[in-house]
Amino acid sequence: MSDLIQKLASKHLATLKPYESARRLFSGGQDWLNANESPFSNDYDIDSSRFNRYPACQPEQVIGNYSDYVGLNAEQVLVTRGADEGIELLVRTFCTSGESNVLICPPTYGMYAISAETHNIGIKTAPLLEDFSLDIEKIKSFKDSVNLVFICSPNNPTGTSIDQHQLLEVITWFKDSALVVIDEAYIEFDLKNGCSGLLEKHQNLVILRTLSKAFALAGLRCGFTLADASIIQTLLKVIAPYPIAEPVAQIAAKALNSKGIETMNKQVQCLETEKALLKKALMQIPDIELVGNDKANFILFRCKQKQALMDCLVSQGMLIRDQSKQQSLKNCLRISIGSNEQNQRLLAKIASFFEKQESTL
Ligand SMILES: *Cc1c(COP(=O)(O)O)cnc(C)c1O
């Protein structure tokens, strides 16, 4: 880096590295089972007649359709450039650079820490317990030291959902001191554990949602923040004037009409069937131990030969995600549920890997 760039860049950025997203780590490959994307791609028509105009900040149809879908009022819904922008907005709006802290519960989704770090916000951690439930006592010990508590449920990458009693205990504990943010990116795979019904009674609760997973629109970059109207109003002070591009708004509105939701539900059912098949097959492999649960569209497993297996799959264009650097996830790999063909291809490659291992012993 040139001296000038080093001198000008914000001091707290010096030690940071760009986020190793699934797409930055690998660009080639034919089977992308590393980013929990949907294997389905749905068709949408676009009307270009308004492309000469700036889009609405909060497109009415998108907000209307999403609030109908979750059963909330429009004032409780904010649409953002992916749930990731929701995370960042919360950090920018409710934390003060160089002063505030957020609380995270690893192993979990990486963007909470990244958003905090890039804004010079401190990170406190209360790791999940051995069964991946919340360490309530530890969480409670941060009562007056954090502004945001991030909880992911179903959790990426463990696939476990947090029990509602635990969530309520945390929400209530922080009611006068912090916002509790529940990331429900995978909630369509575990509907009965959804928390949107708690919003009415709990003004410090924030829920993050996305169209990137069950709705099969990761390329669209569209997510939602659900919260009390006063929180949404405050976030609107910080959000960009035109966060949602017009084509994005058109597609999101269609994905969220009754036909779009029906398609999503069918595709989720299909992925549930695929997940059960994949899980059953993996359980039969002696060297593979399933870890966590299957409440989302991926499976996490531990395997002693993690690196060799990963290298073998990646060299054949079959991309999966290494989670072994995360707290308590030594030797763990995560695979997203793909199409039936992809899953069968994956299983065949894993089987042949273990056959070769045995023959070289
Ligand atoms: C994929 C994912 C997101 C990101 O959603 P986008 O809407 O694509 O930004 C957020 N949280 C979790 C837990 C995820 O796995």
pLDDT in tens, 312-343: 999 999 999 999 999 999 999 999 999 999 99
**Model confidence pLDDT, tens digit, residues 72-116:** 999 999 999 999 999 999 999 999 999 999 999 999 999 999 999
CB atoms within 10 A of CB 241: 7
How many angstroms is it from 315 CA to the middle of ligand 1? Answer: 27
On the question of pLDDT at 27 being above 70, the answer is: no
* CA 278 centroid distance within chain: 22
On the question of pLDDT at 25 being above 90, the answer is: no
CA dihedral 256, 63, 338, 288 (to 10 degrees): -130
Strand, coil or helix: 150: strand
Q: Give CA–CA dist 343/264, Å, rounded.
A: 20
How many angstroms is it from 111 CA to the middle of ligand 1? Answer: 8
Ligand 1 pocket check for 185: Cβ under 6 Å: yes
Residue 289 tokens, joined: 């131990």
The pick from 104, 115, 156 for probing ligand 1's pocket by mutation, whose C-beta has the most ligand atoms within 8 angstroms, reads 156
Q: DSSP for 39-104, please give it.
A: S--------GGGTTSPPPSS-HHHHHHHHHHHT--GGGEEEESHHHHHHHHHHHHH--TTT-EEEE
CB atoms within 10 A of CB 22: 18
Ligand 1 pocket check for 223: Cβ under 6 Å: yes
Ligand 1 atom having least distance to the Cα of 109:
13
The pLDDT assigned to 361 comes to 61
Ligand 1 pocket check for 297: Cβ under 6 Å: no
Ligand 1 pocket check for 210: Cβ under 6 Å: yes
The pLDDT assigned to 1 comes to 65
The stretches of 119-214 forming alpha helices (DSSP H) are 136-140, 164-173
Is residue 289 within a helix (H) or strand (E), and if so which, with residue range?
A: strand 289-291
How many angstroms is it from 186 CA to the middle of ligand 1? Answer: 8
205 has which bridge partners?
Answer: 180
**Model confidence pLDDT, tens digit, residues 169-200:** 999 999 999 999 999 999 999 999 999 999 99
The pLDDT assigned to 4 comes to 93
Ligand 1 pocket check for 183: Cβ under 6 Å: yes
CB atoms within 10 A of CB 206: 27
Question: Residue whose CA is closest, atom 7 of ligand 1?
Answer: 82
Contact 211, 236 (CB under 8 A): no
**Model confidence pLDDT, tens digit, residues 210-222:** 999 999 999 999 9
Question: Residue whose CA is closest, atom 2 of ligand 1?
Answer: 185
